[in-house]
Structure 1
Amino acid sequence: MISIQTKRYSFNLKKNFPFEFKTLTQQFFRVKLYSSMATFNRTTLEEVLKKRFFYTPSFQIYGAVAGFYDYGPPGCALQANIIDLWRRHFILEEDMLEMDGSIMTPAEVLKTSGHVDKFTDWMVKDSLKTSDIYRADHLIKQELETRLEGDKQARAKLDGNVQSEKSKKKNDKSQMVKLEDSVKAEYEDIITRISNYNGVEIGEVIRKYNIKSPETGNDLTEPEEFNLMFESSIGPTGHQKGYLRPETAQGQFLNFKRFLEFNNDKMPFASASIGRSFRNEISPRSGLIRVREFTMAEIEHYVDPNNKTHSRFNEVKDIKLRLVPRSVQSEGKMDPIEMAIGEAVEKKIVDNETLGYFLARTYLFLTKLGIKPDRLRFRQHMPNEMAHYACDCWDADIHNSYGWIECVGCADRSAYDLTVHSNRTKEKLVVRENLAEPMIYDKTVLEINKKVFGPKLRQNSKTVEDYLTSLNEEQLEALKKALEDGNGTTKVPGTDGNQYEITSEYLTIKRQTFTEHVREYTPNVIEPSFGIGRILYSLIEHVYWTRKDDEQRSVLSFPPRVAPFKCLLVPLSNNPAFTDLVDELAKRIRKLSIAIKVDDSSNSIGRRYARNDELGTPFAITIDFQSVNDRTITLRERDSTKQIRENIDTILQVLKDLLEESTTWEKVMETYPTFTQQELD
């Protein structure tokens, strides 16, 4: 049986769709489905994860709270191994400076960074039930996907094909509606672009396509912004407002001067941080994909804005990535273009070498983890979804049963973060570089006449001065022209938002020549940001499969480097004759720093193997009565189930070599004879 399960539909391909499988995958998913997904069943996988305690909803015996999860022993180990590989791949190989910052952040910091005002999603409510609240873009996407599925069912019925079980259910008549081609195209276009819509556009879509509350069929309220940060207070008085951090980046920016000093004032360099972040999602869903508390791993690479080359770019320039640039998306398509990152940078599809370098390094990290390359793409942000200060931004999207999921964001954030924090605190977050030749240049500058400015504006002088000193050269020239056009008088906003009248008597704006022997600049920041939970779940789906001879036997084929347990130590039975040898081997293996699991339960050897295949344990050492007599043991490989039998020292050395990746199982099988033994249930 071949079956497919998506987040809304599950059906049997052979029974319900007699036409070619390739055609189905192209039409139903609008993206290529991969062979590993053909037999994938999320319900079965979730049962395995629950049974083996990879993770579980938090506070479950109290009814649970959406968006929070607890990791069990294998989940903890898997996450720790992913983080360890991330740290080795980036922090150690790139000589980054790691820090661990506070998760509680004063409101003033996040006000300056823009999170208080702009870190929002759009939500709508059931107009007659205040308890039903939805994230607007997700609700629209879900509804339009349902209608498109109904169109497919209707067309399949007209073509003489049997509709799916989903469309046979009662109260599912909406699934069987044939759409006009133009309407279908509109739906597909909206689904592609919905994450970039503003509140007005979302409201128009809801009204135009008559989208209702999915629970009651009632009308929906107008979209309203909801800030995603968890608000708190600092100290016993409650007067100092704070938030649980929505990202780890701000702590790194605030410590820039210390990083630079620690790095002996050398540029470029990178800081990194791994830790918990919090986002008060409107409607958490899809397991670990959208949660309210999660682990992030973020890099802030500081670079000269006039030189964004990377010293190691030649090492990665020939790596081919599956790119979805803006030019493709603007045509309403999402088909990746395979291209070497060097070519993408040369053609300015990717803005600069440093950004391209990190895209390639991200690809190498994810594929090293076990993410399938043909289910990984890099999508460029469209102009309307990118922050105004960003030069370029790409997402590493991983395909799983929930669709294409953004798991890594890689952005050139320009000098925005360091600039706004510097302006707010008056602390210079800059790099000073001695010049071989002095630099002579003209610059428009502002001089405030303090003798007039203060007495005239009185208590408002500070708010107006803060505004004026924040202006760049272009803005100063515009202010100068406004004063000239207004006969020496104009109005300017203060930082409090009010308008104030100023005159030419208050200030002077002029061009001035400067000679500098030291260049001072604010670095630009290239930021790769990794969502560890999303990567973890996607990896689980990518390595999950079932044995051909028994679909009930699930396997998680984690690469040994990230597998929660590296080796199973299993005696043939719980006979006391095996106890001493099991204890001896367990101590020796643990001294090699190898994570093992001893299973001396009364279950059959086959069931114990199967149980640890579900944990993703790549190797198993078995002790039997022959082991007690001649000290030979067997080593079993998880995926092939093949075994070798050698003396203890040889097996332990082979195991060590396999885990250190100095050999492979294929080479082991060429070196040692296969040991044949039937695995009993």
Structure 2
Amino acid sequence: MSVDRSVPFNRETLESVLKRRFFFAPSFDIYGGVSGLYDYGPPGCALQSNIIDAWRKHFILEEDILEVDCSMLTPYEVFKTSGHVDKFADWMCRDPATGEIFRADHLVEEVLEARLKGDKLARGQDHAEKDTSEEKKRKKKVKEIVAVKLDDSVAAEYEFVLAQIDGYSGPELGDLMKKFDIRNPATGGELTPPMEFNLMFETAIGPSGQLKGYLRPETAQGQFLNFSKLLESNNLRMPFASAAIGKSFRNEISPRSGLLRTREFCMAEIEHFIDPENKSHPRFSEVKDTVLRLLPKSTQQEGLNDLLEITIGEAVEKGIVDNETLGYFLVRIYTFLLSIGADPARIRFRQHLQNEMAHYAADCWDGEMNTSYGWIECIGCADRSAYDLSVHSARTNEKLVVRETLEAPKEIEDYEVTIDKKKFGPLFRKDAGKVENYLTSRTQCELEDLAKELSEKKSISFVVDGVQDNKTLSLDDSLIKIEKTKKLQHIREYIPNVIEPSFGISRILYCLIEQNFWVRPDDLSRSVLSFTPAIAPTKVLLVPLSNNEVFTPIVADITKRLRKSFISSKIDDSSASIGRRYARNDELGTPFGVTVDFQSVKDHTVTLRHRDTTMQVRGSQEDIIAAISAMVFDGLSWDDATAKLDAFEGQQE
């Protein structure tokens, strides 16, 4: 069934609805609020819970994933080892005159986009959009778009930069700011060069304050640290996956766009552990013909945004997507978004550029959803290789490995470290054990690099945490040998690789709200949120025709039946007209309305209304509830679920 969504989207109208109906609101509002922190009201809370429930069914149940719930407080040592202490940062710049702070990549992006809009305005090709009041508070942006025509070459260069804005380093962003004369948009003041700002919230664990910790910026590390326990829980079978759902925290430089960039948010992450020598997936054949809209890194490097529509089977075969398991999860992400009501035409997967991707990652794609803010990264899906388990294993001396008995012995050639302990001990004294453990616990890749360094320079340099005040240590080839040795292997021991789909639930929630919001053309005061029945905050609105007491027992009986069927409902027995009561709940996203009238008193039938089309059917309470249940829990369409019910045209909107 189609509906008329011809009225242009207006973000101010949507924000008015969300604020008035308390989907979410700034935290501590009556104290002036804190940027980047939000509270969810009843409909927003229910919507988020329903999205998480759908996620849990789609992934944890269907993929037989092991769910864990790990601590949000994490000791310093864990994030030092994982690299978050040193590298989990964004680039910021500061206006020395005003003290204002900007996130460098966002500032460059917003200024160049504003100049391009001004160019289009000057050419009569576009109309500058007005910022909403929330946007004006949020953005450090040009106050209004000025119509200035750009040279074609300059406009093309701006487009090229914007196409790969996520791939620039801090120094490169600084160069762009100089080249394009990007200043404080409000004052014109010069800005400092971009500098790194670590995004983790630091805290102290315990009353002494001596145990330094952080609020987790992601849920992944707890899953890696519990790998051995999870493998045991899975009866030592590989491959397998774990998942975690919960709050994460990032001290954003410039929180923006409501729920799209906040300091506290809900994440759902999967860690799929696989054999590095076999990244196929047993169910890939089920999804190989699914067409996805991809934005490969090769296209972005050309300064273009043209999407490639291709089956995932072909994308893996051509090497665009690195392996089957990564491709399988891209499709599962896509089908999940469709199942909760995302617009397929507004979903794409963007591949990370080489300098944007973590050094250890084999491939990484962002699942993006299009909104009035542009393309928003909502999901990341990365092949993280064996990095996380390797570094934690090396730091703790715990073997986070899989052991498999080989059918026949196999000769292997590995790098091994040999140390001259007679010279080594006196050199490092009490720290000798720490240094030796550091060297002998390196991965094969790291040992290969060290062997090359030792061969070329006749010495190696390295840092061991906590040894000699973290100064660089040096060993020459008279103290250490790193050579390949052959040995017979009866048991294969390996560190699994990890495919990680990571979901920002808060971002998905907002994008769904935008993509499902529209206004009825025949009455611009009537807004609608077309959530799917499965995720709608409330499924059914019960509407007695009036406050006549004869309707009370019927409404109570239907409410009881709905509760027993685990279908959420609300009663609106106010004095407003039927049409007004329906309209109030259309903007809450309630998909179905059940009206109790005088005919219901006579024969116990009721009417069922469809939110989007306003079509109505009539039937017995049992048949109506069965139809609702089929649409909420089984995903049946309105036409299929109500095929045996009679059309009804009684109540007026």
**TM-score greater than 0.5 by the shorter chain:** yes
Report the 3-state secondary structure (helix = DSSP H, G, I; strand = E; otherwise coil) of the residue aligned with 1:615: coil
Structural mapping, 1:382-421, within 5 Å: 382-421=353-392
Report the 3-state secondary structure (helix = DSSP H, G, I; strand = E; otherwise coil) of the residue aligned with 2:254: coil
Tell whether the 8 Å contact from 1:432 to 1:521 is kept in structure 2 after alignment.
yes
Q: Which runs of 5+ in 1 are unaligned?
A: 1-34
What amino acid maps onto 1:88 in structure 2?
Answer: K
What's the CA shift string for 1:399-443, capped at 9, x where partnerless? 011000000100000000000000000000000001001011233
Question: Aligned residue for 2:611?
Answer: 638
* Identical columns (%): 58
Cα deviation for residue 173 of structure 1 reads: 8.3
Report the 3-state secondary structure (helix = DSSP H, G, I; strand = E; otherwise coil) of the residue aligned with 1:671: coil
Question: Aligned residue for 2:137?
Answer: none
Question: Aligned residue for 1:522?
Answer: 495
Change in Cα spacing, 1:444 to 1:661, as seen in structure 2 (3 Å) is closer
Tell whether the 8 Å contact from 2:530 to 2:612 is kept in structure 1 after alignment.
yes
In structure 1, C-alpha distance between the alignment counterparts of 2:221 and 2:423, rounded to whole Å: 39
What's the CA shift string for 1:65-113, capped at 9, x where partnerless? 1111111111111111111111000000000000011110111100100
1:580 has 2:553 as partner: yes
Question: Aligned residue for 1:555?
Answer: 528
Structural mapping, 1:268-667, within 5 Å: 268-462=239-433, 464-471=435-442, 490=459, 492-495=461-464, 496=467, 497-661=470-634, 663-667=636-640
Cα deviation for residue 126 of structure 1 reads: 1.1
Question: Aligned residue for 1:5?
Answer: none
Higher relative contact order (CA 8 A, sep 6+): 2
Cα deviation for residue 514 of structure 1 reads: 1.1
1:148 has 2:148 as partner: no
In structure 2, C-alpha distance between the alignment counterparts of 1:92 and 1:607, rounded to whole Å: 40
Report the 3-state secondary structure (helix = DSSP H, G, I; strand = E; otherwise coil) of the residue aligned with 1:377: strand
Structural mapping, 1:68-217, within 5 Å: 68-130=37-99, 132-156=100-124, 175-217=146-188
In structure 2, C-alpha distance between the alignment counterparts of 1:565 and 1:60, rounded to whole Å: 26
Question: Aligned residue for 1:223?
Answer: 194
Q: Name the TM-score, length of structure 1 as normaliser.
A: 0.90
What amino acid maps onto 1:599 in structure 2?
Answer: D
Cα deviation for residue 664 of structure 1 reads: 2.8
Q: Which runs of 5+ in 2 are unaligned?
A: 132-141
Question: Aligned residue for 1:9?
Answer: none
What's the CA shift string for 1:223-246, capped at 9, x where partnerless? 111100011010000010010000
Change in Cα spacing, 1:37 to 1:284, as seen in structure 2 (3 Å) is farther
In structure 1, C-alpha distance between the alignment counterparts of 2:482 and 2:635, rounded to whole Å: 68
In structure 2, C-alpha distance between the alignment counterparts of 1:291 and 1:630, rounded to whole Å: 53
Change in Cα spacing, 1:254 to 1:164, as seen in structure 2 (3 Å) is closer
Change in Cα spacing, 1:468 to 1:628, as seen in structure 2 (3 Å) is same
Tell whether the 8 Å contact from 2:529 to 2:587 is kept in structure 1 after alignment.
yes
In structure 2, C-alpha distance between the alignment counterparts of 1:293 and 1:662, rounded to whole Å: 32
Cα deviation for residue 475 of structure 1 reads: 6.0
Q: Name the TM-score, length of structure 2 as normaliser.
A: 0.93
What amino acid maps onto 1:142 in structure 2?
Answer: E
Tell whether the 8 Å contact from 1:463 to 1:494 is kept in structure 2 after alignment.
no
Question: Aligned residue for 1:241?
Answer: 212
Cα deviation for residue 309 of structure 1 reads: 0.4
Tell whether the 8 Å contact from 1:491 to 1:499 is kept in structure 2 after alignment.
no
Tell whether the 8 Å contact from 1:305 to 1:523 is kept in structure 2 after alignment.
yes
Change in Cα spacing, 1:120 to 1:38, as seen in structure 2 (3 Å) is farther
CA RMSD across the alignment: 2.2
Tell whether the 8 Å contact from 1:633 to 1:647 is kept in structure 2 after alignment.
yes
Change in Cα spacing, 1:439 to 1:276, as seen in structure 2 (3 Å) is same
Tell whether the 8 Å contact from 1:99 to 1:273 is kept in structure 2 after alignment.
yes
Change in Cα spacing, 1:491 to 1:96, as seen in structure 2 (3 Å) is closer
In structure 2, C-alpha distance between the alignment counterparts of 1:503 and 1:629, rounded to whole Å: 97
What amino acid maps onto 1:116 in structure 2?
Answer: V
Question: Aligned residue for 1:20?
Answer: none
Change in Cα spacing, 1:286 to 1:261, as seen in structure 2 (3 Å) is same
What's the CA shift string for 1:560-609, capped at 9, x where partnerless? 11111111111111222222221121112111111001111121111110
In structure 2, C-alpha distance between the alignment counterparts of 1:127 and 1:36, rounded to whole Å: 48
The equivalent position to 1:43 in structure 2, one of 12, 26, 48, is 12
In structure 2, C-alpha distance between the alignment counterparts of 1:435 and 1:50, rounded to whole Å: 62
Report the 3-state secondary structure (helix = DSSP H, G, I; strand = E; otherwise coil) of the residue aligned with 2:525: strand
What amino acid maps onto 2:513 in structure 1?
Answer: I
In structure 2, C-alpha distance between the alignment counterparts of 1:38 and 1:676, rounded to whole Å: 26
Count how many residue pairs are aligned between Structure 1 and Structure 2.
636
What's the CA shift string for 1:352-406, capped at 9, x where partnerless? 0000000011110001111111110011111110011000001111001100000
Report the 3-state secondary structure (helix = DSSP H, G, I; strand = E; otherwise coil) of the residue aligned with 1:90: helix
Tell whether the 8 Å contact from 2:161 to 2:303 is kept in structure 1 after alignment.
no
In structure 1, C-alpha distance between the alignment counterparts of 2:625 and 2:18, rounded to whole Å: 30
Report the 3-state secondary structure (helix = DSSP H, G, I; strand = E; otherwise coil) of the residue aligned with 1:129: coil
What's the CA shift string for 1:619-654, capped at 9, x where partnerless? 111111222232221111111111122222222222
